[in-house]
Structure formats: structure tokens, C-alpha cells
Structure 1
Amino acid sequence: MPPRTNEFQKLVKIINKHLAPADAKITESAMIFDREAGINREVDILIETNVLNCNIKIGVECTTTSRKLDIKKIEELKEKHRRLGINQSVVVAKNGFSQTARNYAEINSIKLLSFSAAKRKDWLPLFEHLRSPYVYGRTYFIKSASLKYRPETTDEGFDMDTETTVLFQGKELAVLDFCNQLFSESQISRIAHKELKENEENGQDPWVSVGFSLEEKYEFKNKNGKKSHPIEIEMTYGYISNYQKLGTEQLAYDDQYVLVGNTSCTDENKLAQAVFSVKNGALNGTIEFNSSLIPKPPASGS
């Protein structure tokens, strides 16, 4: 039977991923072998971490039943987790728990969690900056690259071609890989995100040009074996983006306020989820998205 999942489970997963320690491993719809039954059993969300050199497994079960969860269900999950070697059980119910379920969980050290939405007027101040957020996927593709070099450090007849390789500190890279690496290290998307978006909105075929000083430290060799040690390189990249608005809601979860966001797009191929929290006065976020959020480059891109 294939693992099951739902949007509520996905929401709980990303919140736990955001709040868990950085070294924790989060698995959705984890399959664990039940030695007593001789079969694999599913845990909605499995959190694995290490405490004092001990491996700890936390099992999180999610339920969207229309009624409050009763003691019978909590008993079933407790027994299931015992057989799977789960160290700590957590149950998240969309519509809460009965009092008998709460009493049973407290006696058996089972953590019960539910969501409660906060009214807009009660939002944390830092969350106010995220009233209308959006998420985007972007693909860059190189359009051109040019070198500046001195005749003294360049073989006669050298011309950069698509088969050119770059040698630096004993490592040889294809020139396209070298350009892409430099471009990635420039962090242009973070530094100029506003300008890049405006450039895209104001016309078709947007592009960005960046230059790098090479200081003659890199050896370029073309397909004919001609070499050069350039002073600098300038590259032009085209790009295409896919923007999606996030509908946001502040929730209280495990005694913490979090802001969750989902794309309003109904196409699951463009689904994205985000969660934000405030820690030490700073805003922190985690995002998960489908790979289809990243657009494909045009056929003419190289």
C-alpha cells in the first residue's frame, strides 16, 4: 500500500521541520517495521534526532476528524508506537481532543497538539511584514560571455569556444560550468531581487550582466589547445521566473506562534508551503515547493 498523505499532514510536517533542531531528520509517511505484526506500519511524520549520543525517534500522527479525538484513538496510537520503537508520541488534531483523551495522554506522557488561529489584529509585529508575501522559482541561462586579457598572457589565435576548459588550483572545469559557478557565487538573486523582478515586469527577454576579476589566475584552454590567462570575464544571463502569491495565517502550535503560507494556485505542480517564526527577535523561515515551480528555460537558451 502506498504511503498516504494530505494537506494537513504536509502542513504539520513543514512546521515540525522548521521548529526541530537543525540536525534532525524529518520523514513524511515513514514506514517502520512492526516486529510483532511482521509488517511495515506508517507513521505520519517521523523526527529522528540525537540527544546525549542516544538516537531518539519522535512519532507525529495527524488527524483531521470532524470530532474531537477520543481516548480510544490515543490508546491505539500509543500501542502502535510502542511496537515501532517510538520514544515520544505526538498527536496533532485539527479539531482538538476530548477531556478523557487529554487525561490519558498526560498520564502516559503523550503530547497532544492542536492549532488555533489568531485574528489578524493580534499578529506578531514581525509577521506584519509578511501580509502579502510571494514565492518564486527562477531559471537562469547563459546568453554570452567575453574575456578581457593581455597579449602577453595569451597565445596568438586564442578564441574562447564552447569546448574551452578552465584550470584553477589543479582543477579543470568546462567553461560553462565555470561561468555558472561564478554566477551562483555572485548571489545576484538575493542582492538585486527587486531590480530583477522589475526588469522582468517591464519587458520581455529580461537579462542581467555581471563581471568578475580573474587577476590572470585562471588558465583558459580552447579546443585547439590555445591558452589565455584573462584579467576579467563578463557574462550575460537571461532568466525566466514563476511567481506565486502565498495566502498567510498565524497559528499557535506547541505554545509558539507561527505564520504559515500556501500558494493559492490549485495546480499541485506549483504548490509551495512556507512557515515563519520569530526567534531572538529575528524572523526565520522554511519553505518547501514542488520542483515544477522552477520554470524551464526557453528552447533557445543554452
Structure 2
Amino acid sequence: MSAEVADALAEGLAVVALESTLLSHGLPPGRNLDVATRLERTVRDAGAVPATIAVLDGQALIGLSVAQLERVCTEATGLDKLSLRDVGPALALGRSGATTVASTSTLAHAAGIDVFGTGGLGGVHLPPPGATVTWDVSADLGVLARVPTLVVCSGVKSVLDIPATLEVLETNSVPVLGYRTDDFPAFYRRSSGLPVPQRVDDAEQAAAAVTAHRHLAESGILLANPVPPESELDEQLHDRLLSEGLELLRSRGVRGADVTPVLLEYFHTGSAGASLDANEALVLSNARLAAEVAVRLRA
């Protein structure tokens, strides 16, 4: 842990975990470092301490220095994308990588951090052409089932099977709370057309729900915060890009971990950067909300 994070935890202050895959794989060079800096500043402005997490040279780092943050955001670094299954080998072999929702949640919990702000959650992928079922399920869901971290995000991307994702969360006793919404968000869009089981309207209500759940279960909690209205991607543009993007995935035979990066790049190009603006706005909003809830949890 960085000295700042270690001191904050020792003093019982609010700390918010932040992932590094968004920075190294989700945003273009230059913009990613700007967003990384703004994310940490947003958390501090809301009264909490940021802890950006990554694995560098075989060390899991909870809280990055300026130089380490720059390294994560440098394209030439070529960081691996580390889900939880990849972290152990990376540590043992002295490798470097950016952490996903699954690995960030786990490392944060190991360090004593129980609130995590991110962009979107992984989920159940749609079946491949000609199939009716899929075994392609994000490790994020399995980690949420057993790691008691509060994950603040803007739902899941619309390329995923959202009904199946919500069913998996229900099966694993993961509460899904909608923040000032009755609809489960779909990342670039404020609503997926599906309801959330429970709604909270402020950070105090969210903190109360988290505290009550933790008395009863060891699973995590999902707080779904829609993209800000002014940054939502236009519905017609979104639906067109989604349809074209899905066809692109089918034609190229893209599956598994490659689906999200390919689709995001297609959205970024096809929307002339509007999807990047939405991505930036929603992750900053989620970091702010995560910090507000973390402060209430400590209070």
C-alpha cells in the first residue's frame, strides 16, 4: 500500500478503490492520464482517499505514485489485462498488468478497502450464432458473489445478456441497488429496459443498505448509477452502433475477453468520440458517488 492509503486505513478514513484496466485498455493515451488524475481528485474532493490498483513488476500496488500512474497510462508499457485468475501468476513471475473489476475488488478487499468505483461491470455474454446458451460469463460476477465489496458502476454494456446477468447476481445473493433510478442502466444508456430490485436516493440510504446486507451475507453489493443525462449516448446512434458492432463480432469470430475491447473501439470510432465522453462522464460520476458512500459508511 502507498503511505497515503495505509495511513488512511489506519485512521479509519474513507478509501475508494479504482481500477487500472480502464486507464490502460479503455481510454486512449493522453486522455487516460488526464482521467486518472481527475478520478483521484474527484474522490479526494468528496472526502475520501483514492487507491488506484495495479500490478507492476510482480507487486500488487494499492495506491499509485504519480510515476506509477504515468506508467500505467503509457501505451508503450503494454500492460497485460489481469482478471483474478491472472494475478497470482503475474505476481509469481514478476509481470505487470492492469486490474479488472474482479481483480481490483479482490485486492482492495485484501487491503481492507470495501468500496470500489468503476465504469461498467462484466456480465453474461450473448450466445454465439446458432447456440442457445453460453458458458462465457465474466469473472466479475463470481467475485461479487464471494467478496463483500460495494461496486459502484453504470450497469453493464448493452452487448451483454443483461437479463441473464441480473439472474446470476440474484442467484448469488448480490443486492442490486439503483441510484435515483428504477431502471438498471446499460453503460452508455441510462436504462436497459429492466427494473432494479431496490432503489436508493442518496448516499446515506446506500450506506445503510450496504451495512445491513453485510450483517447477513458475505457477497458484494452493486450500486448502479446511470450515466449523467447530459452525457448519455443518443439512442438511435447507440442502437445503430450496437447492431453494427455485433455483426462485426460475428463476422470476425471475436469471442471471450476480446469482445469488449473490439466493441468499445467500434463505438469510439463510430460515434466520433461521443462514447468516450460518456465513458469519462460516467466513471467520474461513479467515483464521486463511491466516495460519498464510503464517507457515510465510515460515519
TM-score (norm 2): 0.27
The one of the two structures with greater contact order (alpha-carbon pairs below 8 A, sep at least 6) is 2
Q: Which structure has the highest helix share of the two?
A: 2
Q: Which structure has the highest strand share of the two?
A: 1
TM-score (norm 1): 0.27
